Amino acid sequence: MIKIGVFGVGHLGKFHLNNWKTMAEVKLVGFYDPSDAAAETAIREYGLQRFKTPEELIEQCDAVDVVSPTPFHFDLCAAAIRKGKHVFVEKPMANTMEEAKTLVSLTREAGIKLQVGHVERFNPALLALKDMKLNPMFIEVHRLAQFNPRGTEVSVILDLMIHDIDIILHLVNSDVRTISANGVAVMTDTPDIANVRIEFHNGCVANLTSSRISMKKMRKMRLFQKDAYIGIDFLEKKTEVIKMQTEKVPGEFSFDIETPNGKRTIAIANPKTKEDNAMHLELQAFIEAIRQNKPSQVDEMDGFRSMEVAHQILQKIQRNQPVV
């Protein structure tokens, strides 16, 4: 049995509690949240013990789940790691690069498992592609959300775009060469909408647009590679693969076209997985990493790299601001 303590029982923390409750190998020890209103709801709805200080809760746990606002991630994670506890921390893993760097070294020194909450890695629309060889050369992403004051303590880059940055760094097997970016702060003091172009050393180019002031929601990633177009709809949890191949495969929907290089077969498929609860899968993956002493699926370096690119983007945006 792995004893878990939850730090922050706000909007996302409650979703985490719902998932932890269903796992037979997890015992929920209690929670820490400085807000009396949030605490009252957690006590009433989940019958959980409220701890007065983070230290008291850390003491009682094998692993902590940090779902507080981002500015508090570092102190809570560092305190837990220093006591040798495993850490699940929501994205972005920390507020500054200095903090993220320190968390990486502390994690390595302590030899604990740290997983960052890049939940889209576990989205069924992406998992449906696990048997396909992905080697994108051009990526187009739109992640648009309606305005919500929650999460606005950080820019749209660290709030929303970081999900796509993490996935792209995971898919593209090459280092970042250059970044161009611009963004506008409309409703808050940091960029609420941004457009970014990331070029990789292997020639791949990714264009990302993120907005938290949109009229409608959209979370789509389109990958283009030598032999295929792949559409991933994270919101609808749907995947489309349009592949060019030399011959028909029985059972696949396909048609033939003439190309300058001769006849080719275009096959269209909508791969699926049985799984559909991304959050459950990510929290379960954390537990399995601890139980089986295997690497975290989204580890401290993944969290660090996505933050590093996000901060480079923010610096580019700052430099591009008009002088008034």
Residues of this chain that bind ligand NAD (CB under 6 A): 7-13, 32-35, 38, 67-70, 72, 76, 90-91, 117, 119, 150-151
How buried is 295 (Cβ within 10 angstroms: 0-12 exposed, 13-18 middle, 19+ buried)? Answer: exposed
Residue type, 126: L
Compute the Cα dihedral for 226, 229, 230, 231 and give only its sign. positive
Q: Which is nearer to ligand NAD, 233 or 240 (CB)?
A: 233
Quote the least distance from Cβ 88 to ligand NAD, whole Å: 11
Quote the least distance from Cβ 158 to ligand NAD, whole Å: 8
Quote the least distance from Cβ 321 to ligand NAD, whole Å: 24
| Rounded CA separation 10/8 (Å) | 6
Quote the least distance from Cβ 315 to ligand NAD, whole Å: 20
Q: Which is nearer to ligand NAD, 31 or 200 (CB)?
A: 31
Residue nearest to ligand NAD as judged by C-beta position? 10
Q: Which is nearer to ligand NAD, 160 or 269 (CB)?
A: 160
Task: Report residue 208 as tokens.
Answer: 């990302």
Q: Which is nearer to ligand NAD, 67 or 204 (CB)?
A: 67
Compute the Cα dihedral for 309, 240, 224, 181 and give only its sign. negative
How buried is 209 (Cβ within 10 angstroms: 0-12 exposed, 13-18 middle, 19+ buried)? Answer: middle
Residues 6+ apart with CB under 8 A from 60: 3, 5, 29, 30, 51
How buried is 296 (Cβ within 10 angstroms: 0-12 exposed, 13-18 middle, 19+ buried)? Answer: buried
Residues 6+ apart with CB under 8 A from 109: none
Q: Which is nearer to ligand NAD, 115 or 312 (CB)?
A: 115
| Rounded CA separation 238/240 (Å) | 7
| Rounded CA separation 312/177 (Å) | 12
Q: Which is nearer to ligand NAD, 76 or 104 (CB)?
A: 76
Quote the least distance from Cβ 178 to ligand NAD, whole Å: 27
Instruction: Note whether 311 and 94 are within 8 A (CB).
Output: no
Quote the least distance from Cβ 266 to ligand NAD, whole Å: 35
Quote the least distance from Cβ 34 to ligand NAD, whole Å: 5
Residues 6+ apart with CB under 8 A from 84: 110, 112
Instruction: Note whether 266 and 244 are within 8 A (CB).
Output: yes
Q: Which is nearer to ligand NAD, 55 or 227 (CB)?
A: 55
Quote the least distance from Cβ 94 to ligand NAD, whole Å: 10
How buried is 191 (Cβ within 10 angstroms: 0-12 exposed, 13-18 middle, 19+ buried)? Answer: buried
Q: Which is nearer to ligand NAD, 12 or 244 (CB)?
A: 12
Quote the least distance from Cβ 115 to ligand NAD, whole Å: 12
Q: Which is nearer to ligand NAD, 11 or 21 (CB)?
A: 11
